[in-house]
Structure 1
Amino acid sequence: MGSVRKKGTNWYYYFDVGTVGGKRKRIERAGGKTKKEALKALAIAEAEYFECGNIKEDSSESFADWINYWIEEIVNPQLAYQTYTTYKYIADSHLIPGLGSYKLKALNPMLLQKFINKKCEDGYAFNSVRAMKKVLSSSLKYAVYPAQKIRENPAAYVQMPKEKIREKKSKIISEENYKRILSFVETEPALANMIQIGWHTGMRCSEICGLTWDNVDFDNKVIHVKNNLLKKGKELELCSLKTTSSYRDIYFGKELEDLLRKQRKLENIKRLEYGEYWKNDFNLVCTRENGKAYYANLVTKRCSNISKALGIDFTFHMLRHTNGTRMLEAGVQEKVIQERLGHASINTTMNVYVKSTEELNRDAAEKLEALSSAI
């Protein structure tokens, strides 16, 4: 049982916590200006100690220092590299500039709510702001437990503002624009092949970048999706996929088979031309002329250039949306679409990638019209 005593003008609390080396160990802290304040501080300190084994220190650590520690020491070793880079970008670009100068213990729900509201007012996409809130909340949740830096998570009380209704942009590439894109990149055969593989398979950009020839089975006309190609710093690395559902087999038809065989022949020619300067270290399917790899950021930049040059909306990920939607329109079963796209949940397939299209909408109208005519 602890007690309090006055030292100078302040009151202190103290209590015993056991013995170390045969000597009694005591914790003593400043409790306030009055005996009442010291007794209250004693009760809180004893409750914390006997529940957690220690007393939370009044830390002066900044939020910037904390989130940098959390990202490098917790997120980086435990989560996928893509997740780490996303979290780090959000922290460096938004959270630290906006909140980093505050002490960790000074963050409160009103301050964080104002920060989130301001991001929405500044015109950031709703999903982007929601991602900021997720990273903020996750870092502070860890600061509560197991780090025991703060008593509760102030971000837990923050609400996302109402999403503003915006004009929906199509995530689908029309066949006409698809042909225009291929014509535009005809002088870059490997990039053209990547775009066509995306169109035919719905594979993610990093998956196509990491596709190796030993995972293309021409006999059975199947692609085994097993790798991502990621850029970590200045180095490229062939990495495992993020989830078990991402590992999958995608069967392909005659058109894609002809494309891949043509690419294989072209690569053999270029390999001979470049000789010792050939750089395809990973046996990749899609490489630049000298064998050097395409990686996701490079492809993203090229697609942005294509979009501006042609005056159309085009990102590589739109090929994936288009592939899923075309399968739905063709009557492919939802479960098959899910497996080909590598989604863990059928809800993701239906709600995110293959939402209602104009063709399906018209088809529904025609079917309802036929029912009405039959009455």
Structure 2
Amino acid sequence: MRNYSSGYVTKHGNTWRAVINWQEDGNQKRLVKNTGVRCYEDRTERGADKATRDNRGKSLAETVLRDWRNKLIAQDAAEQIVPASTLPVSDYVRDYICNKERSGTVRDVTTRGYRSHLRHLIGTDLGAKQMGDVGHEDITRWEQDLASDGMAPTILSHTHVFLKQVFARARKLGDISSNPFDLVEAPRRRGKPINALPPSEISRLRHSLDGLGSTPLATGASIALKTGMRVGEICALRWQDVDLESSVIHVSHALTRVRGHYELASPKTATSVRAIPFGGSLKEVLLLRRDAMRSECEELGADWSDGLFVIGPTTSGTWKSPQGLAA
């Protein structure tokens, strides 16, 4: 009897399409079905960097998917329906990740994190156990084994939280009757040590920056020192984000490393979008940097734009990567 995956839905033309996978003779097989549920194009707002997902109709399409899967199972098993609760945990988690990946509801870096969590399941007793048979003792034993193998508490905690999320979804869909992760406390993470420069080093750094003028490195280091912004946020900072009159920097973008290169994106969390006031010393640094960039534009016959990056190349309109900042 085929062991069907829980499946997923994806947009195809003007309707949602359902996809179900299974393994047969060591090969991946796939069935595709048009759910007949209408879908809508993603919306791109004026000035936005990426499209906003439009998931209208997705819930109804997922209902069609589950009904279809049950019918397939019934046909293969002569009316004996095998619920998704019989899937091994590792397979169920893999389907969950595929669904997230194809829906576009999570960033690529998040999906890669999910797959790293999945690797901690594959080949373990918990990963091979059927979803409906998992108890809190299985989870505790599995986490103890990972800790004994030297897994860092922070990574173990992140993996725990992710799997609890998967099981919560399974509970919502009715694939399992209860979430065993509700009975297990997440492993405690070790507090990160405060990595702050002592006053003597701050004074030394300021003295060194004074001799570098309005270079990208000097400007970027001054912004970091006086605002606490991350290097990816500093490299993504445009002049339109700097209010020199009110002395406020608006953090709305950051550079994120994706598959070996940097991409401009919104910050990972909502709390990272913020307004940071700054003092007179940083204002002087920013004014010098802006004047230097404007002078360079005039010399090269290029137009000035507030869309230029504060520490990027003056005329190309591109950003300077964190790795290239010191160059």
TM interval, shorter chain, is: 0.5 to 0.7
Q: How many angstroms does 1:187 deviate by?
A: 11
Q: How many angstroms does 1:151 deviate by?
A: 3.6
TM-score, normalising length: structure 2:
0.56
Residue 130 (1) aligns with residue 154 (2): no
Q: How many angstroms does 1:160 deviate by?
A: 4.3
Stretches of structure 1 lacking an aligned partner (at least 5 in a row): 1-26, 31-44, 46-54, 304-375
Aligned partner of 2:146 in structure 1 is: 119
Q: How many angstroms does 1:57 deviate by?
A: 1.9
Q: How many angstroms does 1:137 deviate by?
A: 1.1
Contact 2:219 2:285 in 1 (8 A): yes
Residue 65 (1) aligns with residue 70 (2): no
Aligned partner of 1:286 in structure 2 is: 311
Contact 1:200 1:256 in 2 (8 A): yes
Contact 1:67 1:91 in 2 (8 A): no
Aligned partner of 1:201 in structure 2 is: 227
Amino acid in structure 1 at the alignment position of 2:138 = L
Alpha-carbon separation, structure 2, partners of 1:93 and 1:274: 53
Aligned partner of 1:307 in structure 2 is: none
Aligned partner of 2:166 in structure 1 is: 139
Amino acid in structure 1 at the alignment position of 2:248 = V
Q: 2:195 aligns with which of 171, 187, 190?
A: 171
After superposition, what is the alpha-carbon deviation per residue over 1:281-338, rounded to whole angstroms, capped at 9, x for unaligned?
Answer: 9622123697653456x48xx89xxxxxxxxxxxxxxxxxxxxxxxxxxxxxxxxxxx
CA RMSD of aligned residues (A): 4.6
Amino acid in structure 2 at the alignment position of 1:177 = E
Contact 2:153 2:189 in 1 (8 A): yes
Alpha-carbon separation, structure 1, partners of 2:222 and 2:274: 19
Alpha-carbon separation, structure 2, partners of 1:85 and 1:205: 23
Alpha-carbon separation, structure 2, partners of 1:120 and 1:163: 12
Alpha-carbon separation, structure 1, partners of 2:218 and 2:123: 40
Amino acid in structure 2 at the alignment position of 1:134 = V
Aligned partner of 2:256 in structure 1 is: 230
TM-score, normalising length: structure 1:
0.50
Aligned partner of 1:74 in structure 2 is: 100
Alpha-carbon separation, structure 2, partners of 1:29 and 1:82: 36
Alpha-carbon separation, structure 2, partners of 1:273 and 1:57: 71
- After superposition, residues 186-335 of structure 1 pair within 5 angstroms as 189-233=215-259, 236-242=262-268, 245-268=271-294, 283-287=308-312, 292-295=318-321, 298=323
Q: How many angstroms does 1:59 deviate by?
A: 6.0
Amino acid in structure 2 at the alignment position of 1:153 = N
Q: Could you say which structure has the higher helix fraction? A: 1
Contact 1:109 1:158 in 2 (8 A): yes
Are the structure 2 counterparts of residues 119 and 260 from structure 1 closer, same or farther at C-alpha, using a change threshold of 3 Å? farther
Contact 1:66 1:104 in 2 (8 A): no
Contact 1:209 1:286 in 2 (8 A): yes
Contact 2:236 2:253 in 1 (8 A): yes
Contact 1:109 1:157 in 2 (8 A): yes
Aligned partner of 1:91 in structure 2 is: 117
Amino acid in structure 1 at the alignment position of 2:266 = S
Contact 2:121 2:127 in 1 (8 A): no
Q: How many angstroms does 1:246 deviate by?
A: 4.0
Are the structure 2 counterparts of residues 151 and 188 from structure 1 closer, same or farther at C-alpha, using a change threshold of 3 Å? farther
Are the structure 2 counterparts of residues 268 and 82 from structure 1 closer, same or farther at C-alpha, using a change threshold of 3 Å? farther
Amino acid in structure 1 at the alignment position of 2:219 = N
Alpha-carbon separation, structure 1, partners of 2:155 and 2:281: 38
Q: How many angstroms does 1:213 deviate by?
A: 0.7
After superposition, what is the alpha-carbon deviation per residue over 1:147-175, rounded to whole angstroms, capped at 9, x for unaligned?
Answer: x43343333333445778x9x83332213
Alpha-carbon separation, structure 2, partners of 1:181 and 1:208: 18
Contact 2:311 2:320 in 1 (8 A): yes
